[in-house]
Structure 1
Amino acid sequence: MYRIRNYLRRLFANCEGCGITLQHTDPKLQGYISETKYKNILTQNKKLEEIIKEKKETEDFKLKEFKRNFREQLKQINESTLRGTREKIERKARQEEKEEKKSKREQIQESIEAKKPQFMEITDINAIEEALATATPMHEYAQTPKLKPIKCVRCINLSVHNKVDGTLCAVTHATSLEVINLIFSEMRHGCVIMMMTDVIDFNGSFIAEVIDEAKKKKAKLILIGNKVDILPKSYKIERIETWIKQQIGDLIEDADVCVVSSKTGEGMKDVIKLLAKYKKTLPDASFYVVGATNSGKSSFLNLLTKMTWNLPEEKYKKPLLADALTVSKLAGTTQAPIPVKCRSLALTVFDTQGIPTVSQMTSHLTNPEAIFNLIPSKRIHPLVFVCHSKFSFWIGALARIDMVEGDLKFMTFFTNNLCTVHKTKFEKVEDVYKRQAGNLLSPAFDNPETIEFEKTRVEIPSSDKEKANKDIVIHGLGWVAVSGRGSSTFDVWVPKGVGVTVRPALMPFEAKIERRVPKNRTANAEKIMGRRPKSS
């Protein structure tokens, strides 16, 4: 089955953003691109390929000339060094004899002369100038023309305009089990799977079924925690790795757990080392990236491609390569497996469809604007509220947390900076929702009055007002760290099907006084951070 599908893919052109087969007939179906635009891109890329080829031949010729000249210069330097060493020994012996006869005045004069700046030999300067003339300047790499990726209209609307068109996508409406079966049906036995998770929504994006299917394929698993750059500045990557290892237990080997940022490149070198190791030990293995929707698979592979492009570190930090894979906050950007080449590792990694997870809040939203305001793309700035029993918190108009019993607690909210958190009393909670859903409480569902909430009761033990012991996690929305002395009881209200989890605190030390929100106030981090001094 795998070989047949690969053969069919070679016969038809695929979208380089989502992997779907391109077509020119029906704009309402996935993979549409106008025939004129398709031909224009092909013509443009063909011309660019000729320019790149000619440029490469010129650079290769310069490199060969430089290597040949350098070898000759090195040979001359070695000969002159040997000759100079003998002369230096003889000169030193004669110098020692003279120094014994010299007067003190002459020795002082010579020491003054010795402190004067020394100049390079003319031959050395010429060699450096010749090397600089033959070497390829760094700026020429940035000027190298880039091939334009061929993308369907849907990918362009998603990645460039943040718009959703009416294109029908079968994968978007498939269940998680159907997508998992589809992905693993194409995999070979003994492959290497990079399982992508979102550190910001670890419980919602960690899919245990992927591990079960990987075991059936006898595959090697690498767990990658992505989007670490979204966490507050106080995070330590080593502590996040340790926390993830504690969460997964012995499901995956500790050495195969990495925490990365697809935005800054932090932690990517560890992933590259692991890939190089498995390429050496498993030379015939295929490599795949598998994960939930919005876990950052495509952005991860875009960066991995740049970092394994056979260029020094300072070069890949520049925008030399266009991002081929479509990146968007909306689910379903990847429609079919896409091969991505890692040149320096001499391997190809396949990007796969995102696995939809019903337990995530984003799966219950249909408004793209609400999704954009829910999924964080900037660093999270936590909001800290003082909480007593019989008080409630609305997180946007999407979820609610009631404190049923317990002494004073500090509630630290980790959500998108645009998501509002509103504190109110028990008796006002329903009235606030009816009046303010979509206004004061944002983001919200398209029809808030039709949403059916279900309750989950949780017990939170705590012993320190400055350190949180547990997190209350709402999948796809964020989490709340609870700190303070004594245990407490909370009711968590979420739409039916959204997951709620209690876990050890991920960021336990964020309940700082300067981050606390004043009493009876609605807040989101975007507005509050704008009024705070930079030091906070």
Structure 2
Amino acid sequence: MTEDEPLVNDEDLYCIGCGAKIQTTDRDAPGYTPESALKKGMENNELYCQRCFRLRHYNEIVPVGLTDDDFLKLLSQIRDADALIVYVMDIFDFNGSVIPGLHRFVGNNPVLLVGNKEDILPKSLRRSKLKDWLRQRANEAGIHPIDVALVSAKTNQSVDSLLVQIDKYRKNRDVYIVGVTNVGKSTLINQIIRQNTGKADLITTSRFPGTTLDRIEIPLDDDHFLVDTPGIIHAEQMAHYLNGNDLKIVTPQKSIKPKVYQLNEGQTLFFGGVARFDYENGPKNGFTVYAENNLYIHRTKLENADSLYEAQLGKLLSPPSTEEDIEAFPKLVRHELKTAKKSDLVIEGLGWVTVPEGVVVAGWAPEGVAVILRDAMI
């Protein structure tokens, strides 16, 4: 090989971080790696594309030219596979975790539903009740899982139990891990790899959507594979409207500490500038908030809420915090709800407010982010 001859030619090489095919010619396309870095990566047997290298070492996201259709085409390979489908969802953002039309990709393959970020839930929340609720919501979305598991990929909680379930249900087949971006799918894969190989953080993970660019195959012990598929980009996620620093403030990071607010009719709670809760009608009551512990919650009168939001977005009511993010942030949409029994008003991706029976409330969330009412979990 001469000095001018490219290192990538007949032999296909793939980034071990995101799965993209390595190439050295197009800086803006997936898999780009400078030839100097490629040579070093091959020598060290740790080959990362430039995008993953920057993401791992500098937490710097580099956009690439893949569309939603590209992701869906990659995911459609599942239809022709004989495999167990492990469907990873964010417990705090079920609607944002739904892959539209997943049943078309699954075919006749069984689905094991995995609710991630279980460690953040209060201990008082009954896990069996949560599993039943996740199964019901999945059924509404056209998915009928053979079982439901709860894990924390970040802390490795219950991953052992999940592996036992996977082994039970896969029956000498491949295993496909699917999920939308930002639900912790690649983090879960990393925990599985760590337990099986001892290598840490092999797959690129970040708070940014769209990290895994192509399927990544991890060998199992019977000539089959565990396959990490690309994360489908779901536009209706709170994560898509905030930068990385603001997302840390909004997305629960540790076990939630409930906060109780005694509210009179006509009072409002602001969750930074990203959401809002109005107590429209009813006697004085206690409302319990389950959200990120560091998220600023501001109480005010309902009659002042609109003008306060307009004047204080990005200031008192933050996040969003930067001028650019404030300009791009969607308008808040109102969802009025009346409770027939004790219920949780859920703002997907943020948390929930436990509401007493027989009152009228309204939840406000960015346009496209779901606000739903469910039976109280606690």
TM score, norm. by length of structure 1: 0.63
Shift in CA distance, 267/181, structure 1 to aligned 2, threshold 3 Å? same
* Corresponding position of 1:482: 355
Q: Distance in 2 between matches of 1:18 and 1:155?
A: 7
Q: 1:289 aligns with which of 177, 196, 220?
A: 177
3-state SS of 1:441 partner: coil
* Corresponding position of 1:191: 83
Q: 2:209 aligns with which of 319, 327, 331?
A: 331
* Corresponding position of 1:388: 264
Q: Does 1:472 align with 2:345?
A: yes
Q: Does 1:443 align with 2:319?
A: yes
* Corresponding position of 1:159: 56
3-state SS of 2:93 partner: helix
* Corresponding position of 1:209: 101
CA contact (8 A) 1:397 1:438 kept: yes
> Identity of paired residues, percent?
31
Superposed counterparts of 1:365-444, under 5 Å: 365=242, 367-444=243-320
Q: Distance in 2 between matches of 1:414 and 1:181?
A: 38
Q: Distance in 2 between matches of 1:383 and 1:27?
A: 48
Q: 1:271 aligns with which of 150, 162, 166?
A: 162
What runs of 5+ residues in structure 2 fail to find an aligned partner?
1-9
Q: Distance in 2 between matches of 1:412 and 1:179?
A: 39
Shift in CA distance, 239/427, structure 1 to aligned 2, threshold 3 Å? closer
Q: Distance in 1 between matches of 2:65 and 2:288?
A: 39
Give the letter for the 2:372 counterpart. Answer: T
State the Cα distance separating 1:39 from its structure 2 match. Answer: 0.9
* Corresponding position of 1:491: 362
CA contact (8 A) 1:438 1:444 kept: yes
Shift in CA distance, 478/225, structure 1 to aligned 2, threshold 3 Å? same
3-state SS of 1:414 partner: strand
State the Cα distance separating 1:26 from its structure 2 match. Answer: 3.7
CA contact (8 A) 2:18 2:203 kept: yes
Q: Distance in 2 between matches of 1:232 and 1:36?
A: 49
* Corresponding position of 1:88: none
3-state SS of 1:412 partner: strand
CA contact (8 A) 2:287 2:355 kept: yes
3-state SS of 1:340 partner: strand
Shift in CA distance, 38/20, structure 1 to aligned 2, threshold 3 Å? same
**RMSD across aligned C-alpha pairs, in angstroms?**
2.7
Q: Distance in 2 between matches of 1:189 and 1:499?
A: 32
CA contact (8 A) 2:86 2:112 kept: yes
Q: Deviations over 1:54-84 (max 9, x none)?
A: xxxxxxxxxxxxxxxxxxxxxxxxxxxxxxx
3-state SS of 1:154 partner: helix
Q: Does 1:356 align with 2:233?
A: yes
3-state SS of 1:194 partner: strand
* Corresponding position of 1:121: none
State the Cα distance separating 1:422 from its structure 2 match. Answer: 1.0
Shift in CA distance, 14/405, structure 1 to aligned 2, threshold 3 Å? same
CA contact (8 A) 2:122 2:255 kept: yes
Q: Distance in 2 between matches of 1:193 and 1:503?
A: 27
Shift in CA distance, 246/397, structure 1 to aligned 2, threshold 3 Å? same
Q: Distance in 2 between matches of 1:449 and 1:359?
A: 14
Greater mean deviation of Cα atoms: 437-446 or 421-430: 437-446
Q: Distance in 2 between matches of 1:424 and 1:394?
A: 8
Q: Distance in 2 between matches of 1:42 and 1:156?
A: 14
3-state SS of 1:447 partner: helix
* Corresponding position of 2:120: 230
3-state SS of 1:335 partner: coil
TM score, norm. by length of structure 2: 0.86
CA contact (8 A) 1:397 1:433 kept: yes
State the Cα distance separating 1:449 from its structure 2 match. Answer: 9.0
More helix by share: 1
Shift in CA distance, 30/305, structure 1 to aligned 2, threshold 3 Å? same
Q: Does 1:220 align with 2:110?
A: yes
Give the letter for the 2:271 counterpart. Answer: I
Which structure has the greater CA radius of gyration? 1
More strand by share: 2
CA contact (8 A) 2:267 2:278 kept: yes
* Corresponding position of 2:37: 37
State the Cα distance separating 1:234 from its structure 2 match. Answer: 3.4
State the Cα distance separating 1:241 from its structure 2 match. Answer: 2.5
3-state SS of 2:58 partner: coil
3-state SS of 1:472 partner: strand
